Amino acid sequence: MKSSALLLQYVKRFVPAAILAFCLLFSGLTKASESITLWHSYRGDEAAALVDLIRQWNEAHPEAQVEPLNIPFGAFGQKLSSAIPRGNGPDLFIAAHERLGDYLRNQLIEPVPQKANFDLLMPRCADAMSSDGNVYGIPLAYKSLALFYNKALVSAPPATFSELLKHAKAFSNPSDGKFGLAYEAASAYHHMPFLFGLGGSLFAPDETPLLATDANARSLAFVRDLVAHQHVVPEESTGTLVTQLFNTGKAAYVINGPWFLGEISKDIDFAVAPLPVIDETGKPMQPFLTVEGLFKAANGRTDGMDVAFAYYLIDTPQARHRAEKGHQNVATLTIAGLSETVAPVYRQSYAQFRKQADTAIVTPTVASMRMVWEPLATALRRVLRGAAEPEDALKQSQTRLLALMRPTPEPASSIPYLILLGGLLALAIWWARKAIKAPQFSQRLKKGKTAYIYVAPTALALTALLFLPFVVGSAVSLFAHRGGEFTFVGLKNFWSILTCADYGFTDPLSFYVTLFVTVAWTAINVVLHVGIGMALAMLLREPWLKLRSIYRVLLIVPWAVPNYITALIWKGMFNKQFGAINALLGLLGLEPVSWFSQFSTAFAANITTNTWLGFPFMMVVTLGALQAIPKDLEEAAFVDGATGWQRFRHVTLPLLKPALLPAVILGSVWTFNMFNIIYLVSGGEPDGATEILISESYKWAFERNEQYGYAAAYAVLIFIVLLLFNAFNKRVLSPAAEEAK
Amino acid sequence: MKKPSTFKYIMVNIALVLAVIITLYPVLWVFKMALTPAQGFSLSLNPIPDTVSLVNFTDVIFNYDLQGRWLFGRQLLNSVIISGATTLLGIAFATTAAYAFSRFEFPGKHGGMSMLLITQMFPGVVMAIPLYILLDTLGLINSLMGMVLIYSTTAVPFCVWMLKGYFDTIPREIEEAAIMDGASQWLIFYKIMLPLARPAIVVTALFSFMTAWNEFILAATFLSDETSLTLPVVLQRYVGDYSTEWGHFAAGAIIVSVPVMALFFALQKHLIGGLTAGGVKG
């Protein structure tokens, strides 16, 4: 009776609010189904030009309106692969050709019929969008690296690299922050022109990736010479630094892509040229060429209007608009040059990028291409910071590459697993029946009736939205994913992770090494978060502090600002040559530290950033919890002559514990899985040593050929480690908490 | 407590000012980038902007689509609705569950608390696609309701733990007295426990709000209509494949953080004054 009255009240209180919320939340979400949806991640002028053309098209075609949707680059791939198979995808999407192979294997795209105006396109761009004689995308534009030079510092573009080097050396003055040539020397993508220019290659004739070649080693030695001996290229140069140097007139040459045009300051008079020829080999420096095009999504429109729109975009007038207003290097051949109305800088660069495209190498679309980047970048960085000789670094990277490629595990029979699962289910049912039949059970259940009413909404929501997806997601760990196909392999993924089957126990890739780093990372962070947060909260509670509400608000700022941007600012502050932290050390008379070249300093940089981000949360929780502590207890201790520390240790802390303990336990779990900071600050540097389990799992899923099964096995192992941690907590921490009560 | 000595007063203030400086230094860079019209990211020791311009803010705010709809306004509204509903739903879920965990004995109580903690251990890497399929089956793809359900379940486990800890510190004598006076279970919960737990509810509200307010990966995956996106998704679009529009991104980041700061400022009175009602001593 009582509980039904309770339920009634419960319903009375919440249902009207819930109905209101539903009405609000579901309103205005019906979608015009007749329109052609187009997903892209264009920004700035490129997006503006596209929107202009869509508007024109929409005026002429009321029956087939195009609706663009701009999606953040970071979520683009995941959104395509979840939405298209469920029929919620777009009709068209704009993406780079490099993923063509993946899209095909995952059945995300359909071939487009070839129409007459395909002849307007640059043949290599059209080829990049084709596979097995079918055309899958309509090329819009291409991108590649080229040479930018400051006209105030350099009169004419160099034809050969030795010419460039001569100018660059004359200009460079590292102590003054001046560099002849600025480019992201540690990025594998930016290294490609040197690698190809010195006769290097990424694949053996049989198309298997091969990094350890003499020519590749020469290219690494060549770049090391530029950075470490000639000092014409800045150390640890990031894209940010390159832009800054060029914009302040402190870099004569820059190697960068067309996106750099939008970043150059108006005060700099510059021009673009194709990359020069390397003297030793007589070969041009060849960058990779990326072609961007419109793909026709699977499960899309069938009346052909989407394809008509795609062909409309590559027609001469529209291509001209994209080139002139969007500053795109369009793939349409009929635009030989831009009209006089366009700023000279863009006219000049347009022509030069077209020239560069003729010698550039179209990025291969084979699946193994994306496996090459990580090991190549590792070798490059190790050579640049003097940790290894080029030959050795490449040999090790070759080993790493083979480890990353992992032979596909043999398929396993699912029958033993099904039997096991059936057995477990039977056991569970038997146990449940036994529990229900136990004499006190129904009594206890009845007693708990009210409690269940209170718990039910939460329990239902969590089961549906957290447990169910997790169980389904975890099941993937029993499969191996290769080329769009899942094969059942049983526990083989776990076996190879736990036995380090593809690499050594002490390799940074090893599960145990990463686990150790993760545990250290979690422990240090939590201690710092709680220590600093609690100390500040204790200071901030003093009633005599006049500005305390101001202090309180200012100190939560790190929690309030989205951490993506502040993490990147911290990364910038740790830059060796230009970062604020080394500048501060310099003021104190200390040597600059190369933060990301050793494990200890890179780890410290990650910890610093995460401590900065994490202490406000603990401070707020402590502030809230402090309110439950009656002041007179402390005052009594004060009267008894206890010192400040004694009062804190024996009166305040035990009272804070029950409210603080959950925050500490949950804080540990969150820090254990804190992906963002590792990914954005150290990025795993040096050589993956600062990687934690969750970032390792992410890399297996998204940067190492989509080995989803292996990544999911990692995720399940993370979960198991945390479960063990929880069991440990129960034993060690809970009695302490009970005692505190 | 007694008035402190002048020395202590000065030391405490110095410590706090130092903490504020370290806290704000990186944030000043966000302001510098937001106020500089160029879209670059500059490195140096001095975070004071050379030029001041609001063009990045106006670019971010005055954003219209093909039909001339004011996208920023709608997206802000979506963010407010989603975060507000998440907070309300989160508090409704969390206070009821935490009350039960704190005050009742029932089969599954200890297991339940552990389960809540366990949900926090699920690595997100494996969850996105199953969640997508689930929401799609329920017809909640591209709906604000779907986002609210996801965010509130993400936030609830922490809130329950936090609130349970706080409820545990509230003496049972108060409820016992109320039962003697003939109050129903619901009345005790609603009229006595909730007001007493106000500081903890404020913390959990802030937490639920921020969970929903800053998230972008799931929102970008599950929402597919320009007018139903949330602000962080729009903000994240300034980060490109090859280059980032730092000025716009920084201005957007500031716009996104201001409401949280304002909320904290407004709520701090409740955070502090939660127990002034008296009668809760000992």
Which pLDDT band, with edges at 50, 70 and 90, does A25 fall under? low
Residues in chain A: 741
At B54, is the secondary structure helix, strand, or coil? coil
Task: With CA atoms as reference, report the closest residue to A122 among A302, A386, A354.
Answer: A354
A101 and A241 belong to one structural domain: no
CB A313 within 8 A of CB A121: no
A548 and A609 belong to one structural domain: yes
Which pLDDT band, with edges at 50, 70 and 90, does A383 fall under? very high
Mean pLDDT of A682-692: 87
pLDDT at A740: 42
A535 and A622 belong to one structural domain: yes
B230 to A474, A739, B200, B216: CA distances (angstroms): 29, 46, 27, 8
A350 and A388 belong to one structural domain: no
Q: Which of A46-60, A246-260, A331-345, B70-84 has the lowest mean pLDDT?
A: A331-345
Domain residue ranges of chain B, discontinuous segments joined by +: 1-53, 68-273
pLDDT at B276: 43
pLDDT at A547: 84
B145 and A638: CB-CB below 8 Å? Answer: no
With 80 as the cut, is the pLDDT of residue A138 above it?
yes
Q: Which of A655-659, A735-739, B154-158 has the lowest mean pLDDT?
A: A735-739
Q: What percent of the residues of chain B are helix, what percent strand, and what percent coil, each to the nearest 5?
A: 70, 0, 30
Mean pLDDT of A245-259: 93
A692 and A545 belong to one structural domain: yes
Kindly report, residue by residue over B195-208, the tens digit of the pLDDT.
888 888 988 898 89
Task: With CA atoms as reference, report the closest residue to B35 among B24, B48, B19.
Answer: B48
With 70 as the cut, is the pLDDT of residue A236 above it?
yes
Which pLDDT band, with edges at 50, 70 and 90, does A410 fall under? confident
Residue of B40, B153, B236 lying closest to A461 (CB–CB): B153
Mean pLDDT of A95-105: 89
Kindly report, residue by residue over A196-223, the tens digit of the pLDDT.
999 999 999 888 899 999 999 999 999 9
pLDDT at A12: 60
Mean pLDDT of A352-373: 90
- Residues with Cβ within 8 Å of A35's Cβ and at least 6 positions away in sequence, in order, are A64, A65, A66, A67
B15 and A17: CB-CB below 8 Å? Answer: no
Does A729 fall in a domain?
no
A299 and A281 belong to one structural domain: no
Cα separation of A148 and A255, whole Å? 6
Cα separation of A17 and A24, whole Å? 11
Kindly report, residue by residue over A275-293, the tens digit of the pLDDT.
999 999 999 999 999 999 9
With 70 as the cut, is the pLDDT of residue A736 above it?
no
A545 and B13: CB-CB below 8 Å? Answer: yes
CB B173 within 8 A of CB B282: no
B228 and A29: CB-CB below 8 Å? Answer: yes
A660 neighbourhood in chain B, CB within 8 Å: 165
- Residues with Cβ within 8 Å of B95's Cβ and at least 6 positions away in sequence, in order, are B163, B189, B193, B194, B197, B201
Among all residues of chain A, which has the CA nearest to that of B102? A451
pLDDT at B86: 95
B91 neighbourhood in chain A, CB within 8 Å: none
Residue of A569, A634, A662 lying closest to B162 (CB–CB): A662
With 50 as the cut, is the pLDDT of residue A28 above it?
no
Residue of A25, A51, A580 lying closest to B81 (CB–CB): A25
With 70 as the cut, is the pLDDT of residue B282 above it?
no
pLDDT at B42: 67
pLDDT at A309: 94
pLDDT at A618: 92
The CATH number of the domain where A561 resides is what? 1.10.3720.10
A43 and B282: CB-CB below 8 Å? Answer: no
pLDDT at B281: 37
Q: Chain B interface, mutation test: which of A570, A627, A678, most B Cβ atoms within 10 Å?
A: A627
Mean of all residue pLDDT scores within chain A: 87
A469 and B236: CB-CB below 8 Å? Answer: no
Among all residues of chain A, which has the CA nearest to that of B85? A21
Residue of B39, B253, B265 lying closest to A561 (CB–CB): B253
pLDDT at A616: 92
Which pLDDT band, with edges at 50, 70 and 90, does A640 fall under? confident
pLDDT at B147: 93
CB A451 within 8 A of CB B100: yes
Cα separation of B115 and B111, whole Å? 6
Nearest CA-CA distance, residue B176 and chain A, Å: 17
Does A739 fall in a domain?
no
Mean of all residue pLDDT scores within chain B: 85
A176 and A273 belong to one structural domain: yes
How much is the CA Rg of chain A, to the nearest whole Å?
30
pLDDT at A29: 47
| Greatest alpha-carbon span in chain A | 95
A554 lies in which domain range? 522-697
The CATH number of the domain where A192 resides is what? 3.40.190.10
Does A46 fall in a domain?
yes
B170 and A628: CB-CB below 8 Å? Answer: yes
| DSSP letter string, A656-722 | HHHHHHHHHHHHHHHHHT-HHHIIIIITTTTTTTT--HHHHHHHHHHTSS--HHHHHHHHHHHHHHH
Among all residues of chain B, which has the CA nearest to that of A657? B165
More confident residue, A482 or A673: A673
Mean pLDDT of A684-702: 87
Nearest CA-CA distance, residue B67 and chain A, Å: 9
Q: Are strands A146-150 and A479-482 parallel, antiparallel or unpaired?
A: unpaired
Among all residues of chain B, which has the CA nearest to that of A78? B221
B120 and A666: CB-CB below 8 Å? Answer: yes
Does A598 fall in a domain?
yes
Task: Using a cut of 0.95, tell me whether the model's pTM lies above it.
Answer: no
Which pLDDT band, with edges at 50, 70 and 90, does B186 fall under? confident
pLDDT at A181: 96
B188 neighbourhood in chain A, CB within 8 Å: none
A425 and A573 belong to one structural domain: no
Does A12 fall in a domain?
no
Cα separation of A282 and A451, whole Å? 81
Q: Are strands A66-70 and A36-40 parallel, antiparallel or unpaired?
A: parallel
Number of domains composing chain A: 4
A585 and A618 belong to one structural domain: yes
pLDDT at A308: 92
With 60 as the cut, is the pLDDT of residue B229 above it?
yes
Q: Torsions phi, psi of A503, nearest 5? A: -160, 170
pLDDT at B199: 86
A689 and A565 belong to one structural domain: yes
| pLDDT > 70 fraction of chain B, expressed in percent and rounded | 94
A124 and A92 belong to one structural domain: yes
Mean pLDDT of A95-100: 92
Residues in chain B: 282
Which pLDDT band, with edges at 50, 70 and 90, does A355 fall under? very high
B160 neighbourhood in chain A, CB within 8 Å: 458
Does A1 fall in a domain?
no
Which pLDDT band, with edges at 50, 70 and 90, does B52 fall under? confident
Which pLDDT band, with edges at 50, 70 and 90, does A438 fall under? confident
pLDDT at A6: 54
With 80 as the cut, is the pLDDT of residue B278 above it?
no
Does A715 fall in a domain?
no
Q: Torsions phi, psi of A186, nearest 5? A: -90, 0
ipTM: 0.85
Which pLDDT band, with edges at 50, 70 and 90, does A535 fall under? very high
Task: With CA atoms as reference, report the closest residue to B50 among B58, B40, B59, B60.
Answer: B40
Within 10 angstroms of residue B217's Cβ, the number of other Cβ atoms is 17
A78 neighbourhood in chain B, CB within 8 Å: 128-129, 217, 221
With 70 as the cut, is the pLDDT of residue B273 above it?
no
Which pLDDT band, with edges at 50, 70 and 90, does A650 fall under? confident
CATH for B68-273? 1.10.3720.10
Q: Chain A interface, mutation test: which of B86, B214, B243, most A Cβ atoms within 10 Å?
A: B243
With 60 as the cut, is the pLDDT of residue B76 above it?
yes
B88 and A17: CB-CB below 8 Å? Answer: yes
pLDDT at A22: 55
More confident residue, A662 or A259: A259
A352 and A209 belong to one structural domain: no
More confident residue, A159 or B69: A159
Mean pLDDT of B26-55: 81
How many beta-carbon pairs under 8 angstroms link A with B? 428
Which pLDDT band, with edges at 50, 70 and 90, does A739 fall under? very low
Kindly report, residue by residue over A151-179, the tens digit of the pLDDT.
999 989 999 999 999 999 999 998 888 99
Q: Chain B interface, mutation test: which of A33, A462, A651, A698, most B Cβ atoms within 10 Å?
A: A462
